[in-house]
Structure 1
Amino acid sequence: MTVTVTGRPAGPVRAAIEVLGRDENGLVTTARAHIAATEPVFAGHYPHFAIFPGVCVLDCVHRAATEGEGAPAPADLAAVASARFSGAVLPGDTLDITLRWRRTEHGLRCDATTATRRGKSATVRLNYRIPGGTS
């Protein structure tokens, strides 16, 4: 299964998110985003050495989780529990995204990693509420 989510996203990143698939249990999702050198966020962040901002990596992870059947159930972001950025994402990179889901008493937890061809770029933990749930 490959689902490409297109259109102008509401967040800071214009890249399309491609949800590549989920495992048979629906608890591991893989996705990717091609980070074009023309992304508006590169303008001025940092002159002569553009780096994709960490908040934009978070945006890509969240979009992979909520668009194109990335989550095992419809979910709304409740919290960014943690984020650790360990490598730069540069213009022209492909950002590979892996989401690992588990149910909690309050909804869903997503443990995500992102990587480029140079290696891991971030580790993120997001908490989601299931609409209509009790949390």
Structure 2
Amino acid sequence: MTARATPVEVAVTVTDRTPTTATGTVRVDPADPVFAGHYPGFPVLPGVHLIEFADQTLRGWLGVDGPEGPVELAAVERCRFLRPVYPGDTVTVELTVDRTDDGLRCSAGVRTAAGPVADIRLRHRAAGAGTTAPEPVAEPDGRVGSGPALDGSDEGAALSAGPARIRQTIPHRYPILLVDRVTEVVPGRRLTARKAVTSAEPAYARLDDTADDSGYAYPVPLLIESWAQAAVLLAVWDTPNPDVLAGKVELAGAINNIQVTGPVPPGGVLEHRVGLVRAVGDTSILAGETWYDGRLVLAVHHFVLALRSIDVLRPAAAATS
């Protein structure tokens, strides 16, 4: 069994395993520390945790490492979030797996007692095989599709901000606040932010001294969450939303075509580059990249952010809607 860092306190229990399918279940612990920061006063499970649950179910299907050895998450081909998951919910993952020439592809339907909560498609490869960088998001002219330039060529005064401004803009708090500093922002167009990865991350707390260096790879769901928080910062920069009880709840609607290469070890700084592709009302579409030690480690081609009223998201209201 390969020990590895994970963003969740409890593990998925895998049952009903067949040569091509598996079912995983996990009860979301209301005492999980993540709820102190996501979000204060209205705890909601981060959407990326559902990606982790699907990943764990795949590993359970394999028998942890599988006959070919350990695997790593290479891509989130599709992830559509349908409704929030709350403390105390029991999450069920129904997984279908295909073996391909370049690894494993799995489709996961995720549900709670309230109904479907996510539709996820992942691609895994052999651990250590991620030597090719993801396809860059920026087009040759430096633009994300028809959206903003990521190369700094567009006009407008660039700003920067530290932790205080970040906390005044988005509702995320410890231990799930994963952006340290904004180094550049042109509101409505682009943003660059940084996040230091250290061995003191909460994700490493459950590793014991038997874990080797590979176990300290920064969990991919947290890598995605960190980039997504930079995207949220850009989307609400001019209309800060630091308190979901007074404002609106920030939810991921979908994250599609995310490519990942290689592990991110402690001791460096993630640089997230985000561009706003389009915004309509309370919904924004963003795209961008993450760089680490001079290499492209994450490419996010499509991220949908939705702001929703807390009144329609409360579990009682959602159950009757």
TM-score (norm 1): 0.80
Task: State the shift of 1:125 in Å.
Answer: 0.7
Letter in 1 for 2:41: H
Residue 103 (structure 2) pairs with residue 107 (structure 1): yes
| 3-state SS of 2:78 partner | strand
Letter in 2 for 1:29: A
User: How far does the alpha carbon of each residue in 1:57-79 deviate from its partner, in whole angstroms, 9 at most, with x for none?
Assistant: 11111112114627875533211
For residue 42 of structure 2, the aligned residue among 41, 49, 56 is 49
Percent identity over the alignment is: 36
Task: State the shift of 1:132 in Å.
Answer: 9.0
Distance 1:44 1:106, change over 3 A: same
Asked if structure 1 preserves the Cα contact closer than 8 Å seen for 2:11 and 2:56, the reply is no
Residue 14 (structure 2) pairs with residue 14 (structure 1): no
Report the counterpart of residue 96 of structure 1 in structure 2: 92
User: How far does the alpha carbon of each residue in 1:79-125 deviate from its partner, in whole angstroms, 9 at most, with x for none?
Assistant: 11121110111000100011101122211101111100000111111
CA distance in 2, matches of 1:57, 1:92: 14
Letter in 2 for 1:27: T
Alignment of 1:1-135 (within 5 A): 10-23=5-18, 26-67=19-60, 69=63, 74=69, 75-130=71-126
CA distance in 1, matches of 2:32, 2:4: 12
CA distance in 1, matches of 2:104, 2:125: 6
Q: Which has the higher contact order (CA 8 A, sep 6+)?
A: 1
| 3-state SS of 1:60 partner | helix
Asked if structure 2 preserves the Cα contact closer than 8 Å seen for 1:27 and 1:72, the reply is no
Structure with the largest fraction of helix: 2
Distance 1:71 1:101, change over 3 A: farther
Q: Which structure would you say has the larger Rg?
A: 2
CA distance in 2, matches of 1:72, 1:121: 28
Runs of 4+ aligned residues of structure 1 deviating over 4 Å after TM superposition are 70-74
Letter in 2 for 1:20: T
CA distance in 1, matches of 2:128, 2:43: 42
Structure with the largest fraction of strand: 1
CA distance in 2, matches of 1:129, 1:55: 19
TM-score (norm 2): 0.36
Asked if structure 1 preserves the Cα contact closer than 8 Å seen for 2:20 and 2:96, the reply is yes
Q: List runs of 5+ in structure 2 lacking aligned partners.
A: 132-321
CA distance in 1, matches of 2:23, 2:7: 21
Asked if structure 2 preserves the Cα contact closer than 8 Å seen for 1:65 and 1:71, the reply is no
